[in-house]
Structure 1
């Protein structure tokens, strides 16, 4: 089986990570894996794991990108893949327009994966045009079917994203050297209960609600510190967050760590993680699953796919979306006592196996 995956670029992100995971799974199973993108820092890893990368910029949101359609159609005819799998809207339009004019008897099967809750418009509708459509959660599936009624529900399959339990093992502890370096760099965290808040610093991730939760929690106890992990992609919202913290007189409770590559260690030293998205729903919420896999509790708004993941692994961590007082109360309780965290059902091997099964089913339908 030969599979071509298409996405805008191979930089860091959930779509990119999922692409590499499926590519690796294909190669391990003895199949041929090709990835088309504009390139990026993950190309080297992709190729070292046995896939072929074709550099081609199909993700630029410009009418000029559509000029690539005939060329891509010729390339597909030459490559003769069994499957072409798209994960992002602009490349999906180019691929779909190229694919639909090919001979139905010989063209590859066309598969899409919906990774996020996009704006509801004709541009986003392309993610429902796959002969088979993969939704990364029940939340993503409901979004697709509720907003794009032309999509046949029989073509949509939920395959939850998965994490590797070996990468985030239960009970993991960082090395003494790592701890020494971390607390040297962040002395404010030493001796405190730690609250981890990972994610890009954007308005929809809930950083302003985080300030309110900390304000409520500080009325009950002062023996905690918040690790804000992530960067502001546009460099604007972080100033608003820091201003809100300063205005509330809470500066001593916060450390901004920026983007980190040692999330496993940060999850492990934390006593609890917070997830406070309440506007644009998370399509899966990988950080919630990673943290729970380590064995660190998560308190989160029961909204979007976080409601699904918490419900399956740690239901006592769910609070009503927007309920900052309830969230603070639950964090306070978790810092005083630990509840059982169930086994994580969202594992990488299951995601890969189910995706490859979709590929095989598509080829015989």
Structure 2
């Protein structure tokens, strides 16, 4: 079986990571794996695992990108894959427009995966046009069917994202050299109650709510400190967040670490992780599951698929969406416990995700 996955680029992110994981699963199972993207830092890892990368920018949101439909159709006819699997809206439009003009008897099967709760419009409707549609959570499936009634529920399969428990092992602790270097670089974080706040610095991730939380929390827990892990691609919102912190004289409570590849260490080092998404919902929330897998508690708004995963693994961490007071109270209670209750063993597993995805491929290909 030959499978082509298409996405905008291979930089960091949940979509990109899932693409690499499925690509490796295909190669390990003896299939041929091809990924089409504009390239990025993960290409080397992809190719090292046995996949073939085709550098092709189909993700630029421009009418000029539509000019590539014909050439992509010719490429598909030449390569003759069994499956073409798209994970993002603009590439999905290009692939679908190319695919629908191919001979139905010989063209590949067309699969989409819904990774995000996109704005509800005709542009987003493409993610429901797959012959089979994979939703990364029950929450994502509900969003798709509620907002795009033309989608046939029978063709939607829920396959939760999964993580490798060996990569995020229960009870993991950072090494002494890592800790020594971290505290040398960030002495302000030593001997503090550490809150991990991972994710791209965008308005919908809840960074301004985080500022409000710390403003209220500091009187109850004066040794609190936040590790903000992630970056702002444009920089404008990061400036707004830092201005809000400075306006409340909270600078000493925050460390901004940028994008990091050693998230496992930060999950393990922290006393708790927060997830404060309250507008655009998370379709799955990989960082939540990674952190829970290690055994560090997560406190989060009951919003989107984070509610789904926390309900399964650590329901004690759920708080009414938008309740700053509720988040503060949960943190204070957690900090006061001698033996805080830990999340149950993670059952959102990478091997299950790969096995179920390959089963969808094989079902539609046959």
- Per the normalisation by structure 2, the TM-score is 0.98
The 8 Å contact of residues 272 and 335 in structure 1, kept in 2 or not, is answered as no
Paired residues in the alignment total 364
Q: Equivalent residue for 2:206?
A: 206
Cα shift at 1:340? 3.0
Does 2:131 match 1:123? no
Residue 213 of structure 2 aligns to a residue whose secondary structure is helix
Residue matched to 1:92: 92
Partner of 2:33: 33
1:295 maps to which residue? 295
CA offsets 1:61-89 (integer angstroms, 9 cap, x no match): 12221121121112111111110000111
Q: CA deviation at 1:219?
A: 2.2
Offset of 1:341 from its aligned partner?
A: 1.2
Spell out the pairing of 1:140-289 with structure 2 (5 A cutoff).
140-289=140-289
Deviations 1:88-109 (A, max 9, x none): 1111111111111111111111
Distance in 1, Cα, partners of 2:294 & 2:342: 13
2:353 matched residue in structure 1: 351
Pair 1:340-2:346 in alignment: no
Unaligned segments of structure 2, at least 5 residues: none
Please report the RMSD computed on the Cα atoms of aligned residues, expressed in angstroms. Answer: 1.0
Residues 64-73 or 93-102, more deviating: 64-73
Cα deviation, 1:49-70, whole Å, max 9, x if unaligned, reads: 1011111121111222112112
1:121-175: CA deviations, max 9, x gaps?
Answer: 1111111000000011111111111111100011111111111111100000111
Contact kept in structure 2, 1:7 and 1:88, CA below 8 Å: yes
1:323 matched residue in structure 2: 323
Aligned to 1:74: 74
Q: Aligned partners of 1:122, 1:82: CA distance in 2, in Å?
A: 27
Give the deviation of 1:350 after TM superposition: 0.6
Q: Deviations over 1:101-122 (max 9, x none)?
A: 1111111110000111111111
In the other structure, the counterpart of 1:12 is 12
Instruction: Give TM-score scaled by structure 1 length.
Output: 0.98
- 2:43 and 2:241 map into 1 onto residues whose CA distance is 34
Task: State whether residues 296 and 342 of structure 2, in contact with CA within 8 Å, keep that contact through their aligned partners in structure 1.
Answer: no
Report the Cα distance in structure 2 between the residues aligned to 1:242 and 1:59, rounded to whole angstroms.
31
